[in-house]
Structure 1
Amino acid sequence: MSLDSKAIARQFGRAADSYDGHAALQREVGERLMERLDGLRFEPQRILDLGCGTGAQSQALHQRFPGARLIASDLAGPMLVQAARRRGWWRKRFDLVQADARALPIAEDSLDLVYCNLMLQWCEDPAAVFANLRRALKPGGLLLISTFGLDTLRELRQAWAAADSHPHVGRFTDVQRLGSALTRAGFAEPVLDTDWITSTYSRPQELLSELKGIGATNADQARTRGLTSPTRLRRMLRAYETFRQDDGRYPATWEVVYASAWAPEHGQPMRTEQGEEASIPISRLGRLQR
């Protein structure tokens, strides 16, 4: 699958005003991701909220770390307009940056924490994103990610497959590939776990409306352009009937993958596909040789 980044920016930009009214799942996953910080003796001074959307998680990060400088970044400018409205009195510690996650305008070794809630599935090249984040994190910095796994929206995908041969639902990652990508990017101690959430709806159309309301529509380069025909939509809805529960409601499965990983301290061995290697600054080599 090849993603259309311009289409992604447009669709999330159009959804900026309606996003918060449809983003209950995103808030729930964000809270669960934030819980990964519980118990850590960790006080970040510079935080990046990558894929910040309307800024709900940026606000939560500020409440948790009120002394930190926060950068909220998103690909869609209208989302940042909404995020700006949340800044309030703490705007002096809150910067807004419109950027592609693969090419963030952030200095090397400048961040203590990168928090990325349900954004990675919209990236064409997650490996490039991880390499960029590894560069931007200080040694000992933490990366926290949530993204969608392979089982996400399986009911909708199967229903559309019965209607036509075109892609309508995104292809999501699996845990093993995500962990391997983190390791290849040079992160240490990656920890991954998976959670399943099932939403239910009185009609499948409610799910479609929710996806449109948050901007999560099809961005596959191979998608059909223009409106879906009524005939194909009816076929999909008939196919979705096979998933109707005993209570008459229609389920939608979300497989959520959580990942945490650290930027290794200088000299700390990090596992690669060739074994373990250590990173030591040139300034320390002379002292080590004496």
Structure 2
Amino acid sequence: MTTANPRAAFFDAEAAAPWAAAPYGAEHAPKLERFFARTGPLAGRTLLEPGCGTGRLTEILARAVGEEGAVHACDISPRMCAAAMERVADLPQATVSLAAMERLPLAPGCVDLVVCHQVFPHYEDKAAALACMARALRPGGALLVMHFRERAAINDVHRKAGTVVEHDMLPDLETMDALLTGTGLRRIYFADDDTLGYLLHAVK
């Protein structure tokens, strides 16, 4: 199967790579612990996970929201979507769509939390992406942007990639704040270090 979108084709080729497909290891536990400290209890809540990749976090989120909650996940890579669908096949509260976030048929104000895990640099129009996330969030809802590495390391890897992602940069904090403000979101927490990686928490 040929993927016409060059960005989707890139991630198709990476779908089996360890960074995308391997189960989380012990080194990820403290990073996930910090993440869940920011989300608070998730049981019964409705989540949006754009750019879900192979569904490593999707499965964890789906188990956390339980049968009374819902996780709407999506990705533009057919192979990554297929892997994610397989991971959550026994979790009816999780749906995985082969689609860009902007094309999901979500009603305004229908989700409690948006989770962008290792995907934010890859949005070509970050302002438009954030506007879509903000529209989906209910008043008081939250956005969490998480990476397992710090911003400088992420940008360095992408810069040196020599592929379609070589210009996919995670913005500096001043730029992120401006983007958030422009879509009605407000940052309430930020951390970026070489031990626990990058985590930004904003609210609507």
**Is the alpha carbon distance of 1:30 and 1:168 closer, same or farther for their aligned partners in structure 2, counting shifts above 3 Å?**
same
RMSD: 3.3
- Between structure 1 and structure 2, the one with the greater Rg is 1
* 2:154 maps to amino acid: T
| Identity score, percent | 25
User: Partners of 1:23 and 1:122 in 2: how far apart?
Assistant: 15
Moved over 6 A (4+): none
Give 3-state SS (helix, strand or coil) of 2:154's partner: coil
Structure 2: unaligned runs, 5 residues or longer: none
Structure 1: unaligned runs, 5 residues or longer: 161-165, 198-254, 264-290
Query: Any residues of structure 2 matched to 1:207-246 within 5 Å, and which?
Result: none
Query: Any residues of structure 2 matched to 1:205-284 within 5 Å, and which?
Result: 256-263=197-204
User: Partners of 2:90 and 2:22 in 1: how far apart?
Assistant: 28
Q: Which has the higher contact order (CA 8 A, sep 6+)?
A: 1
**Is the alpha carbon distance of 1:33 and 1:187 closer, same or farther for their aligned partners in structure 2, counting shifts above 3 Å?**
farther
Whether the aligned pair in 1 keeps the contact of 2:190 and 2:201 (CA below 8 Å) is yes
**Is the alpha carbon distance of 1:93 and 1:175 closer, same or farther for their aligned partners in structure 2, counting shifts above 3 Å?**
same
Report the equivalent of 2:77: 76
The counterpart of 1:193, out of the listed 184, 191, 194, is 191
Report the equivalent of 1:22: 19
Whether the aligned pair in 2 keeps the contact of 1:150 and 1:171 (CA below 8 Å) is no
TM-score by length of 1: 0.57
**Is the alpha carbon distance of 1:179 and 1:26 closer, same or farther for their aligned partners in structure 2, counting shifts above 3 Å?**
farther
Report the equivalent of 1:117: 117
Query: Any residues of structure 2 matched to 1:2-17 within 5 Å, and which?
Result: 6-16=5-15
**Is the alpha carbon distance of 1:47 and 1:154 closer, same or farther for their aligned partners in structure 2, counting shifts above 3 Å?**
closer
TM-score by length of 2: 0.79
Measured against aligned partners, the alpha-carbon deviations of 1:78-129 in whole angstroms (never above 9, x if no partner) come to: 2111111112422x21111122234443111110111110101111111111
The counterpart of 1:178, out of the listed 169, 176, 179, is 176
Measured against aligned partners, the alpha-carbon deviations of 1:128-149 in whole angstroms (never above 9, x if no partner) come to: 1110011001111111112562
- The CA deviation at 1:13 is 1.6
Aligned pair count reads 194
Whether the aligned pair in 1 keeps the contact of 2:122 and 2:165 (CA below 8 Å) is no
User: Partners of 1:46 and 1:117 in 2: how far apart?
Assistant: 16
**Is the alpha carbon distance of 1:42 and 1:54 closer, same or farther for their aligned partners in structure 2, counting shifts above 3 Å?**
closer
